[in-house]
Chain A
Amino acid sequence: MDSLHLGSYTFSSRLILGTGKFSSSSVMLEAIKASGTGLVTVALRRFNREQPEDDLFTPLSAIPGITLMPNTSGASTAAEAVQAARISRELSGSPFIKVEIHPNPQHLMPDPIETYEASKILAKEGFLVMPYIPADPVLAKRLEEAGCASVMPLGSAIGSGQGLATAEMLRIIIRESNIPVIVDAGLRSPSEAALAMEMGCGAVLVNSAVAVAGDPPAMAEAFAEAVAAGRKAFRAGIMQKSGMAVATSPLTAFLGPAS
């Protein structure tokens, strides 16, 4: 069985869903079910214990077979993220934490320095740390050394739908990593998710592309199929591209005929 392993957890689906931006909780829940995912992320700031109608946590935790990965979106420093992670664990009981620290609320790019600091602390506290990071191969290795369960480099800016703009860096991160690499943010269409999986990603995380689609549950299903297809292709071994140039006057003629 080709499963995704994170800490002691095993997931048969390699699609992770985000829960923001949906038009209603019921559409979100339908999309999650249609996707067949086993792992979803939810922002601590969208936990609302005082108002059931506004709360994302309770309906999510009621779905059987779903593991929740709270995230610290809204935090702008390591200290805030660490505090948010502890509150999340207390409230949700989940050991997963997606460390998401974006000090600039406009472009929402992750802060590599604060993310590293927070991840180091949280890994020591026993969390399964899943840091959302810029596609930086050195940072990815530093986070692996710090004890993270995975790294989550961005394909492109959150909500941008620009796809795998960071493909070259992602290839290096994947090649060098001993922990699952999960592409998070920027994916617009299932074909891009398939491509990420063909490159050797452990999983992809999708939110906007599903939440703002015309039919979110159908799009969730399409992503699930694309992710499964991409993974299968990666495992099967993808043929090399042709187009290698051969010089018209042989470069090695001086060697004489092979004996």
Chain B
Amino acid sequence: MPRAHDFDYDAMLAKIKDRQWALADIDWDAPGADAVTDEQRPRLKEFMADLVWIENVGARGFAALAGKAPTPVLREIYTYFHAEEQRHANAELALMRRWGMLEDDEVPEPNINVRLAIEWLDRWSDDMSLAVLGTVIPMLEVALDGALLKFLLDEVHDPVCHRVFDKINADESRHLAVDFQVLDLLGHAPARRLLISTVGTVARPTVLLGALMYVPLLNRMRDNIVAMGLDERRLYTAMSRFTRVGERSPATRRLPSYQILKRHAAIVIDRGHPYHHFADFMVKASARYPRRLLRPTPSWARELTHEPVAR
């Protein structure tokens, strides 16, 4: 992998602009929708809903990153990524609609863990450092997006679905390329600065709160995947990709936030680790989280649409 300062952000931005696509580019009424069986439909609906909301959460993460970008070009790249994650969510909604999972303008409800993630992002994400956001977002992208998408393509044989996810995957590969470049860039900071920013970050209650939201979110996804009849190792393979790519850069390895997430990923993958007692408990506990304590859904989480054309 090239070093951070070799990376051509301008060329990346130009490429991003060249590779834009729209929902209107896809024929949502093309044959193949019946490839989704009645048996698959209810579970697949839940699964797709999770996916849609994870994209939306990822979108908000990129919005926060755009605010932290050290250069105007990177800011613009993140602004595009923000929009692209939203596009993925919109396209996935359109697929749900195609498969008869949505009534009229229905947008599926996010599960409680996603709701908590939305709430946390809405309140705190703009206060997080580039290092924290820049590490968590690629993890979410490889683990959740990566695993879920691959699984979906194995299970669903609708050609439109494959066409859509080809486009989504191409976008995601650019997101990951930039994500890991930025980690590498951050890793070049002097050790003193890394130490100070880490101590400052870990000491913050909002970060701890974020972690408490992140832990059950992951395990909940795993449960949903298993419920779909998928081998959970899929999720773990995807998570190990985060480490695999990250380890290639000595600079990234210097990043405390990377090290923490890497260790955490290793524990998540180790099914026998006592951590899972805690994480599974958190999933159950969050299911009992009183809904009345949730704040109203922020307006950024009410922008999703399956309609390719807004009239």
Q: Do A and B come from one complex?
A: no
Query: Which residues of B are in contact with A by a Cβ distance under 8 Å?
Result: none
Query: Which residues of A are in contact with B by a Cβ distance under 8 Å?
Result: none
